[in-house]
């Protein structure tokens, strides 16, 4: 234990050497404060390094109500052949067909399923109660609802049979993202969560002779890419992920069609979620450097650090300043003045030389402790020997 204390004391003495004239109590306070600073900086360094390794992130939420909400893309699947009819309803009461956006029903022999799709992604829902949309689209009607009727056309379908009709709804940008991801899937990691959210979160089973309201809202997630720029700065390149959040509201049975489906937004506000890293290499270095500079600034204020102004707030306290000055004066008194011909009168040459040498040493120590550090100019003799000079000591 004593060995550890001695090593710590030696390290601190090397960093901030004690002065001969320094009061022991002030020296103890100064060294203790310095030790606390170093330990605190080390603990802070370890904590920030741990946070950096954890790669924790913060989500910032926003919203955008200045754009319309595009119609979702729908994929229908059933055990029996079926047909889909679509009608667009506008705020002025007019309606037009949208069957041109519906693909013909096809049969997949491998899965033994019939499927069709609706791709009206260029159709856009606008909030007619929003003044910005009204002013921007003065002579334009606003799409309010898409009505779809799904009928089973298979002759083998019986009245007491269930067609097991499913539908999956995707945002148009989600479909593009998934198509790109599938093309890169052997090299793409982390797709499963996105794929599960996009498909499973918006896939519904329709009961026989039922009516439903499909209500949805659009969400945009900006995820940080795993690259060196983001690890270094914490802010940078994001990967945009677009999804829809939906609910299916059932209504009383409809005996005229197998399924009646009404599609409209539950919100015209597009929610954005941006991911930013809580810690980066630059933040780590800045924080550690900042806490160290702050600690050393407090140390300099309390005890002094600059060789030109070696006394800090503690040494300048009224109750301490006199003792500090007295200690300095006592350490130099035998050699003050450093050179005086009157005091040297009557001394022999050898005595004068010894006195001058002693006073010169005292002056050098004084300059080293209170005026300028000479550590930077005290070098190994071989390091400053001129090029071509030989070591005569060998």
The per-residue b/e assignment along 16-36, b for 16 or more CB within 10 angstroms, e otherwise, is eebbebbbeebeeebbebbee
Domain boundaries, the chain: 2-50+283-336, 62-277
Looking only at Cα atoms, what is the longest distance across the chain?
137
For 52, the token pair is: 């950096």
Q: Would you say residue 6 has pLDDT above 70?
A: no
Q: Residues 156, 160, 164, 170: is their CA dihedral positive or negative?
A: positive
What integer pLDDT is reported at residue 298 of this predicted model?
A: 82
- CA 235 to the chain's CA centroid: 6
Check residue 102 and report its DSSP letter.
Answer: B
User: Chain-wide mean pLDDT for the chain?
Assistant: 74
Helices (H) and strands (E) in the chain, counts: 10, 15
The answer to whether 258 and 163 have CB atoms below 8 angstroms apart is yes
Residue 139 or 356, more confident: 356
Distance CA(259)–CA(206), nearest Å, equals 7
What integer pLDDT is reported at residue 101 of this predicted model?
A: 92
**175-184, pLDDT tens digit by residue?**
777 766 666 6
Lowest mean pLDDT among 25-29, 54-58, 93-97, 114-118: 54-58
Candidate CATH numbers 2.60.470, 3.90.1690, 2.40.30, 3.30.1540; the one for domain 62-277: 2.60.470
Q: Would you say residue 88 has pLDDT above 90?
A: yes
- Share of residues in the chain with pLDDT > 90 (%): 13
What integer pLDDT is reported at residue 388 of this predicted model?
A: 46
**33-73, pLDDT tens digit by residue?**
888 888 888 888 888 888 777 766 767 777 776 567 888 99
Lowest mean pLDDT among 117-126, 225-234, 368-377: 368-377
**371-384, pLDDT tens digit by residue?**
555 554 444 444 44
pLDDT bucket at 29, cuts 50 / 70 / 90: confident
Q: What pTM did the predictor assign? A: 0.56
């Amino acid at each position: 234990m004593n060995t550890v204390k001695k090593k710590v004391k030696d390290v601190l003495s090397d960093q901030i050497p004690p002065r001969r004239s320094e009061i022991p109590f002030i020296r103890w306070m100064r060294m203790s404060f310095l030790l606390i600073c170093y330990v605190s900086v080390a603990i802070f360094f370890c904590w920030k390094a741990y946070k950096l390794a954890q790669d924790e992130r913060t989500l910032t939420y926003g919203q955008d109500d200045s754009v319309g909400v595009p119609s979702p893309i729908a994929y229908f699947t059933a055990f029996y052949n079926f047909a889909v009819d679509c009608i667009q309803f506008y705020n002025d009461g007019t309606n037009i067909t949208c069957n041109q956006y519906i693909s013909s029903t096809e049969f997949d022999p491998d899965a033994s399923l019939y499927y069709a799709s609706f791709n009206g992604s260029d159709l856009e829902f606008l909030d007619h109660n929003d003044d910005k949309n009204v002013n921007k689209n003065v002579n334009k009607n606003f799409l309010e609802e898409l009505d779809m009727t799904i009928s089973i056309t298979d002759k083998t379908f019986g009245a007491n049979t269930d067609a097991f009709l499913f539908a999956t709804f995707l945002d148009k940008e989600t479909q593009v993202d998934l198509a790109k991801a599938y093309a890169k899937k052997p090299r793409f990691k982390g797709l499963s969560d996105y794929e599960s959210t996009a498909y499973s979160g918006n896939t519904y089973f329709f009961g026989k002779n039922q009516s439903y309201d499909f209500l949805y809202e659009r969400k945009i997630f900006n995820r940080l890419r795993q690259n060196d720029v983001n690890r270094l700065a914490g802010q940078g390149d994001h990967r945009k992920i677009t999804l829809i959040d939906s609910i299916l509201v059932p209504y009383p049975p409809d005996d005229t069609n197998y399924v009646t489906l009404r599609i409209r937004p539950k919100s015209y506000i597009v929610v954005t979620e941006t991911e930013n890293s809580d810690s980066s290499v630059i933040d780590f270095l800045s924080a550690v450097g900042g806490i160290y500079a702050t600690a050393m600034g407090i140390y300099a204020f309390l005890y002094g650090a600059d060789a030109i102004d070696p006394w800090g707030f503690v040494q300048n306290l009224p109750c301490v300043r006199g003792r500090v000055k007295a200690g300095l004066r006592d350490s130099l008194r035998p050699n003050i003045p450093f050179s005086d011909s009157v005091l040297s009168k009557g001394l022999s040459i050898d005595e004068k030389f010894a006195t001058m040498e002693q006073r010169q040493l005292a002056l050098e120590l004084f300059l080293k402790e209170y005026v300028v550090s000479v550590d930077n100019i005290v070098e190994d003799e071989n390091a400053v020997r001129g090029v071509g000079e030989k070591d005569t000591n060998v």
